[in-house]
Amino acid sequence: MKTTLKGLGAALCVALPFIAQGPADAATLAANSAATPAADQSLVQRGAYLAQLGDCAACHTAPKGKPFAGGLPMNTPMGRIYTTNITPDAQTGIGGYTEAEFAQALREGVAKDGHNLYPAMPYPSYAKVNDDDVKALYAFFMHGVTPVQQANREPDIKWPLNMRWPLKLWNMAFLEKGAYRDKPGKDAAWNRGAYLVQGLGHCGSCHTPRGVAFQESALDESGSAFLSGAPLDGWFAANLTGEHNAGLGRWSDEDLRTFLKTGANRHASAFGSMTSVINNSTQGMSDTDVAAVATYLKSLPSVGGNGAPPYTYDPKATKVSLDRPANDAGARVYTAYCMHCHGAGGQGFAPMLAPLAGNPNVLAKDASSLINVTLNGTGDLVINGVPSPFPMPGFAAVLDDQQIADVLSFVRAGWNNGAPAVGAAEVAKLRQSTQAAR
């Protein structure tokens, strides 16, 4: 059962000029260079990297679709919406946008024609992007992306919930305008990390709890809920604070840097939306930026968590159950389907196969991610063009709701994890919702 931090943002904006299979590789940039003055090519290249940090491809490129042409379905509490075409096609994309109009859409959530964007587009985070970076992003999307003529699809949201004018009021209440400003008393690495996490990385879009109006409860470290973990579309985006059990408290800077570059470390492996973030964004970050993000995240104080004492590994009681699995329904399922990858000791074979003992996702109060990945598995991590040899398979067709509840309850109690049990009703609910979302 591969587990992960689900995080650093599930996003809306990236090109991959420097890693395999990216939509804005060197050939694409060269093909478009004729339309761009030579003096601007360095700006286009810089914009490509910044777009990668923002992870636009993850949302604006549909499966088997053309890069940045949109069409990816996204579920919201009001209904399904579809991401838009952000290629420079003049009719169906953003080719007619001026730089000022592009900046307005990016940082304020207002399109060229004046209609408001849904805040599924993380413009409250992109509001912090500075003018120089907006300029580079604009250069990239106008001259580094191939135009695609593909009409945008209307949202599946019924009247009156599809009216856009209430979003103007939402922006007045919750949008904080103004680019990020360096915090006095913090060094350059911390401020760079804060700028990336809060801005282009938009980590809070997934990892910060939301209020009744779908607003993020905090937009930076000044709010106690910032990056403390949140439910999201059938997953639980993990706690990224210094909390010892369900957060990053036991992770070193090197652990975090390794996870961002490869999607796996000695504590966890990426799954769900985080797989796309690793594949499309963070693995291509510069070492300096990865280190800055780690510096900032490791500075955040402990918030949330499961309230349990700090985790310590203890395999004794679990070993007894696995020696006699006939006496424990969860142990029976674990020995049949899980133990060959994750081991009797629950420590897996990191980083190839994730540990379950002490894994932050296993220790979280919300078991949604564990249920989801057990039901549906996860996509391949593709690092430097090489797919992971051991992706997590899905067991929805093999195990019933009670069996999955039993094995996850066993895992959450095992090896001194001490996390709450999982009920069959929780599994049934998530099974139904994830099937409906397909």
CA 374 to chain centre: 18
What does the DSSP assignment read for 60-98?
A: HB-TTPPTT-B--EEEETTEEEE----SS-TTTSSTT--
DSSP code for 237: E
338 annotated as ligand-binding? yes
Tokens of 381: 């991590």
Task: For residue 14, give every residue at least 6 positions away whose Cβ sits within 8 Å of its Cβ, in sequence order, or none.
Answer: 51, 52, 53, 54, 55, 56, 57, 58, 280, 281
Output the furthest CA–CA distance in the chain (Å, rounded): 73
| 100, 171 Cβ separation under 8 angstroms | no
Tokens of 66: 């053309």
Place of tokens 């990216």: 22
13 annotated as ligand-binding? no
User: What number of CA atoms fall less than 13 Å from residue 330's CA on the CB side?
Assistant: 19
CA angle at 91 for the pair 90 and 93, rounded to the nearest 5°: 70
341 annotated as ligand-binding? yes
Radius of gyration of the chain (CA): 22
Intra-chain end-to-end CA distance of the chain, in Å = 22
Binding-site residue positions for heme c = 56, 59-60, 203, 206-207, 338, 341-342
Q: List residues forming the annotated binding site.
A: 56, 59-60, 203, 206-207, 338, 341-342
